[in-house]
Structure 1
Amino acid sequence: MDPALPSLRALQVFEVAARLGSFTKAAGELRVTQTAVSHQIKQLEEELEAPLFRRMGRGLSLTPAGQAWFAELTRVFGQLRETNRKLRSRPRERPLVSLTTLPSFAARWLVPRLGLFLARHPEVDLRISTSEAVVDFTLEPVDVGIRFGTGPYRGLFSEKLFEDVFITVASPELAQRLHRPRDLAQSPLLKDDHEGAWPRWFQAQGLGSPATARYHQLLDSGLLVEAAVRGQGVALARWSLVRDELTAGRLRRVFPKLPALPVGHAYHLVGLRETFRRREIAAFRSWLRGEIRELGREMPSAK
């Protein structure tokens, strides 16, 4: 019986770390933490029952087993990348735009608007996948991504779409009971994975965080919005994710005269440079720019 194949992801991480000679540099290329790289390497060494690296101070060198695996993987991944380019460059009966983005942005902003793109381009098909994982565009069947971060995205073409802002929102019933920032001490405060957002917001108002504040954390920003809609607390939410809920009246902005708070991150459209030469990708990019311009005209000003 053939031995079980090791994790493909772990093999990919090993190939990058061996090629760059550094876990830190591998983490940068893969857009993950150094801890995640170390974990994948440890998992692979356990699966293979052999050490792959020698750790020498801050440096790395390959063991004989590591050298053997690296030589084979260089050839295998090189062939896989070439096969991916070759097969994906073949003409399809219908052009396809394959996009990956964050679940919250897809559900709360992108998908509600995609009907406009499809109506304008009935000849184009769409495939949307949602993930926070970093995509290797040379290996995976994805054309472009919309990412939320600080950049830069090394090795990729990247276009900054817009910088988002935080605003305070609540259900209409809860919002009408809140008249000044100090009133927030009596309400649950909803936060996502931006740990420092609420302290920054209170600081911008010249206040300290209320000692009696109750924080409920929802790491998915889309769930944060849903919790606010259902009256579970006051959310410090990104404008792009709550804009439609505000328009529909399911949420109300709390303290609308106060300036918005910069998030410190921006949305970027990323992908391989050659991908953006395709007609259907250019059409999607043009449509996306138009929608972003409309969003920008309505965005609250930040302090």
Structure 2
Amino acid sequence: MTLLRKTFLPPISDLLAFEAAARHASISRAAQELHLTQSAVSRQIRQLERQLGMALFHRVRQRIVLTDAGRVYAADVRVALQQLSASTQQAMAFSHAGGLLNLAVLPTLGTRWLVPRLPRFLALHPQATVNLAARTEPFDFAGTPFDAAIHFGAPSWPGAVCRFLMREEVVPVASPAFRAAHDIATAHDLTRVALLQQSTRPTQWSEWFEQAGVATTVALRGARCEHFSMLAQAAVSGLGAALLPRFLIEQELAAGSLVQLAPQALASAGAYHLVYPEARAHTPLVVALRDWLVRECAAGA
């Protein structure tokens, strides 16, 4: 094992210098990031090239360009360094009995639903640390620090376990001033006002109008917002009518900053799931989070 370490594992400092130079395509910018001199970064890269027995960069005048082998090696080194960083954080977290859990979550769900409830989970597991990061699309858990993710859509995620949490229904809402200004009283009245769109669900208004029995050609017209939080704020600000999940705008409805414009609600085709790699299926903190989320969602159903 000692021979393997000496032969195949370069110094971390050399790998950091190489990865930064590859990412920036610049020795000087890598040096700035690492708080080193340019000559020190160049020396570390030369050491690495000597150890590997090949060039990692083409040097063209004042520029550096990755060789084919350098490009492949840079991608592998980047993943390895990220994994090493995540593993180090996790090891440090285990100094506390509760452990560490890295959770990917949809931005608005995380902000408006999960975070306000998270103190209840931490009260049950006071030594645990839960890190949150926003992700909107499925990803490969390999090479990421994530232990689990909360996903909306079909229960399909290759190599992972999907546990159903809850469904949602969306309702048409706007600010009270917008409703009064446009004299909105029925579903049909919405065909003549600005319809705020959710970028990732472009057919939602069409489906809602169809369910409401209203024929219209304007369902796709209107400003688009990427996240539900943006859509909610746009509606509160009087920019138009929006279709929003009722459970994400409970505070606005209770406070009166948003009002429901018609009684018809549209049940979304997808659902929320907790997703985790099969290798994490029996990890105590993942199991604890899964069971707690199932209870929370059932209580709010």
Same fold (TM over 0.5): yes
Q: How does 1:251-290 map to 2 (within 5 A)?
A: 251-256=258-263, 258=264, 260-290=265-295
SS of equivalent to 1:264: coil
Residue 269 of structure 1, CA deviation: 0.6
Residue 125 of structure 1, CA deviation: 1.8
Whether the 8 Å contact between 1:199 and 1:208 is mirrored in structure 2 is no
Is 1:152 paired with 2:156? yes
Instruction: Determine the structure 2 residue equivalent to 1:230.
Output: 237
From 123, 135, 151, the equivalent of 1:119 is 123
Distance 1:102 1:210, change over 3 A: same
* Cα distance in 1 between the residues matched to 2:276 and 2:219: 46
Q: CA RMSD in A?
A: 3.6
SS of equivalent to 2:251: helix
In the alignment, structure 2 segments of 5+ residues that lack a partner are: 1-16, 24-64
Residue 195 of structure 1, CA deviation: 1.0
Distance 1:2 1:115, change over 3 A: closer
* Cα distance in 1 between the residues matched to 2:219 and 2:163: 42
SS of equivalent to 1:285: helix
Residue 274 of structure 1, CA deviation: 3.3
Residue 206 of structure 1, CA deviation: 2.2
SS of equivalent to 1:189: coil
From 243, 246, 252, the equivalent of 1:245 is 252
Instruction: Determine the structure 1 residue equivalent to 2:193.
Output: 187
Letter in 1 for 2:115: V
CA deviations on 1:36-56 (whole Å, 9 max, x unpaired) are xxxxxxxxxxx6465xxxxxx
Letter in 2 for 1:149: G
Distance 1:79 1:226, change over 3 A: closer
In the alignment, structure 1 segments of 5+ residues that lack a partner are: 8-46, 51-64, 297-303
Instruction: Determine the structure 1 residue equivalent to 2:95.
Output: 92
CA deviations on 1:128-184 (whole Å, 9 max, x unpaired) are 111225444332222111011224101011112122222111123334531112211
TM-score (norm: length of structure 2):
0.66
Residue 111 of structure 1, CA deviation: 1.4
Whether the 8 Å contact between 1:186 and 1:213 is mirrored in structure 2 is no
Letter in 2 for 1:182: H
Residue 78 of structure 1, CA deviation: 8.9
Distance 1:101 1:80, change over 3 A: closer
CA deviations on 1:230-257 (whole Å, 9 max, x unpaired) are 222110112332233223333222212x
CA deviations on 1:261-288 (whole Å, 9 max, x unpaired) are 1222211111123324232222222221
Whether the 8 Å contact between 1:102 and 1:132 is mirrored in structure 2 is yes
The percentage of aligned residue pairs carrying the same residue is 29
Is 1:209 paired with 2:207? no
Whether the 8 Å contact between 1:104 and 1:220 is mirrored in structure 2 is yes
TM-score (norm: length of structure 1):
0.66
Pair member with larger Rg: 2
SS of equivalent to 2:268: strand
Whether the 8 Å contact between 2:198 and 2:224 is mirrored in structure 1 is yes
From 129, 132, 135, the equivalent of 1:128 is 132
Instruction: Determine the structure 2 residue equivalent to 1:22.
Output: none
From 101, 104, 110, the equivalent of 1:106 is 110
Distance 1:153 1:114, change over 3 A: same
Pairs aligned (count): 241
Residue 228 of structure 1, CA deviation: 1.2
Distance 1:198 1:2, change over 3 A: closer
SS of equivalent to 2:144: coil
Residue 191 of structure 1, CA deviation: 1.2
